[in-house]
Structure 1
Amino acid sequence: MKAALLISTCAALAACTTGETPAVESDIVPEYGTVQTKLLEGDLVSFDVNMRGAASDKDVLAFTDCVAAQYALIRGSGFARRVRNDVDHQRGNWIGQGVYTLSSAHPGGRYVIDAEVTAADCRANNIPMV
């Protein structure tokens, strides 16, 4: 009786499949959108980014960090320190805003980006920069 039930259940499940593999999180390809840069005062800069297909806030923060790293290199700074980051998700659109200070010497603080190392990681992970 158990064997017949098992065969019946397997047959029912097989009949329900379409042959298509369901999408999993790793199948999602991020689409990086626009970047707006605002020099606020001195070495304080703000970046607004948007993207689609992010798996979580971490993807948006990585995009913002990549933009900050490249901008720091363009400005001749070796480091960017994250001051504030906000991420919002609305109808499939991810919007991030990051405020960073730029400096040529390690600024200390909780979250500091080494611009050259971060930019290399961004290139290796195909995350666009400025």
Structure 2
Amino acid sequence: MLTRLTISLIATTALVGLSACEQSQAEAVSRDEQAFDPVYDSVDTRLLEGDLVNFHVVMSGARDGQDVYQYAECAAAQYALIRGFGFARHVRTTIDSEGSVWKGDSVYTISSALPRGLKTIDAEVTVSNCEDNGIPTV
């Protein structure tokens, strides 16, 4: 049987835990509120086989991995257009950061028709969005 002291300790612990959660959520800054002064350093493109293309991107000043992912996506979209294709499909991306330098290693397939899968991009629309957001392409 629980004693009043035990119940009181459980309740106090729960309240402290909730207070800590509220404080950490209040301190969290949304991605859009973070300082963002990107430097898009480089894109290295390698045709792997057939329609499979590898993109290595390097940037600094990224807020998080999403900025690196978008940089690689912009490169893939422009590459597809340069090669006369209208679409790309994301296969995989790995992202590393060391200090303020972020590196992305992405693989995309490029195609003239909308490829199967969930992570497809319309190259023209994506390149336009990249230009609107100041993200360089290949």
When the two chains are superposed, the root-mean-square deviation of aligned CA atoms in Å is 1.3
TM-score using structure 2 length: 0.75
> Residue 105 of structure 1 aligns with which residue?
113
Give yes or no for contact 1:25–1:55 (8 Å, CA) kept in 2: no
Structure 2 gap segments, 5+ residues each: 1-31
**How many angstroms apart in 2 are the aligned matches of 1:110 and 1:55?**
25
Aligned residues: 107
**How many angstroms apart in 2 are the aligned matches of 1:128 and 1:84?**
20
Structure 1 gap segments, 5+ residues each: 1-23
> Residue 30 of structure 1 aligns with which residue?
38
Secondary structure of the residue that 1:67 maps to in structure 2?
helix
Give yes or no for contact 1:69–1:113 (8 Å, CA) kept in 2: yes
> Residue 56 of structure 1 aligns with which residue?
64
AA aligned opposite 2:101 = N
**How many angstroms apart in 2 are the aligned matches of 1:112 and 1:26?**
28
More helix by share: 2
Task: Give every structure 1 segment of 4 or more consecutive aligned residues whose post-TM-superposition deviation is greater than 6 Å.
Answer: none
C-alpha deviation, 1:91, in angstroms: 1.4
- The percent of aligned pairs where both chains have the same amino acid is 53
TM-score using structure 1 length: 0.79
> Residue 49 of structure 2 aligns with which residue?
41
